[in-house]
Amino acid sequence: MKQKVVIIGPAYPLRGGLATYNERLARAFAEAGDEAEIVTFSLQYPNFLFPGQTQYSTDPAPQDLVIKPLINSVNPLSWLKTGLYLKNQKPDIVIFRYWLPFMGPALGTIARLISGNRHTRILAITDNIIPHEKRPGDDIFTKYFLSACHGFITMSRSVLEDLKKFVPQKPAIYHPHPLYDNFGESQPKTVAKTALKLDPATHYILFFGFIRAYKGLDLLLEAFAEERLARLKNVKLIIAGEFYEPAEPYENLIRKYHLEHRIVRATDFIPNSQVATYFSAADLIVQPYKHATQSGVSQIAYHFDKPMLVTDVGGLAELIPDGKVGYVTAPEPKAIADAIHNFYTSGKEGFFIEQVKFYKQQFSWKSMLQAIKEVAGKVERN
């Protein structure tokens, strides 16, 4: 039966992984025959709270989606207007994206207003319950939001356990992050390297995504400085992503270990139109995180059939079978260096690629929709 679904969270003209995910989820509902629209932010963060260069995308607007920028995260009047608008629209399902306690007051107020129609099932895809960078008031804001929802989907088991500490009685299930299959097709390595003005004869590992302390780029730089890797003369590291904190500590490490000629910097925001080129140019995608829940980077790597190295933190290892699609290591430089050295000396790349192609079949958007509707069904029976 056709349903009306509203997704509430970042979307165009905002940029980033959350926006990309929400737009792909809306398309999945449309492909399934449902009516879907996205309600996004007219103001997501005040500029003084945003660590990057800009919150807005340079890509063209999607023509196949209904996106309404209604929510100002710091203006309660917009929360009231949005909540009353959706209450009167009576969608069958509203799906909030919850990733940061700062959004708790706005999203929690909107959810409470919608629930007044006694029809809409209010669900949340919770990227994080306990944030990577903690601040006063986090628990209060999170409780306010979670208590307004009827059911939940998490994309890592660790987040599901965190969620149960707040709302143990409400329906909640784990479903892994689906593939990011919206960045186009893979390119031959030589073609991608040429497009990025890289040496076609050099091998590249890729660190991708915005740069914050918890993502462990410092661990990767220290690993890359190890003598065994330094002897791999034709291997370089691409750092592709915008700094969301001062770059100087990382530049100090690069200078300390004399890595200047072994690093390729692409430290601006990477638009969606260039994602395929960076992933296609790389041999190995490295996520050396110090702590994490889940990561969309893994699902981009799966889409482009790329072996991965992740650290054994949060939910990262749940999606990366060690020794099959890549490596799961301790979050420390020697373990990371061991894995990179093994990758380039063992000749396992071809084996890993074939395993990636096999394992990625489980990460479909169709199954994510089934999970969402399963939770919605449990709400109806309660």
Query: 377: Cβ–Cβ under 8 A, 6 or more apart, which residues?
Result: none
129-166, pLDDT tens digit by residue?
887 667 777 999 999 999 999 999 999 898 999 999 99
Read off φ and ψ for residue 220, nearest 5 degrees: -65, -40
Contact (Cβ atoms closer than 8 angstroms) between residue 13 and residue 24: no
Low-confidence residues in the chain, pLDDT < 50:
381-382
Q: What is the pLDDT of residue 381?
A: 46
Which fold would CATH assign to domain 189-362?
Rossmann fold (3.40.50)
**What's residue 108's pLDDT?**
97
Instruction: Report pLDDT for 54.
Output: 65
From residue 152, give the alpha-carbon distance in Å to each of 14, 98, 123, 222, 319. 24, 10, 5, 39, 20
Give the per-residue pLDDT at 221.
97
What is the model's pLDDT at position 382? 44
Q: In the chain, what are the domain boundaries? A: 4-178+364-381, 189-362
At the top level of CATH, the class of 4-178+364-381 is alpha beta
Domains 4-178+364-381 and 189-362 share a fold: yes
Enter the pTM of the model: 0.86
H/E run at residue 164: helix 157-166
Q: Is 88 exposed, middle or buried (0-12, 13-18, 19+ CB in 10 A)?
A: exposed
Query: DSSP character for 103?
Result: G
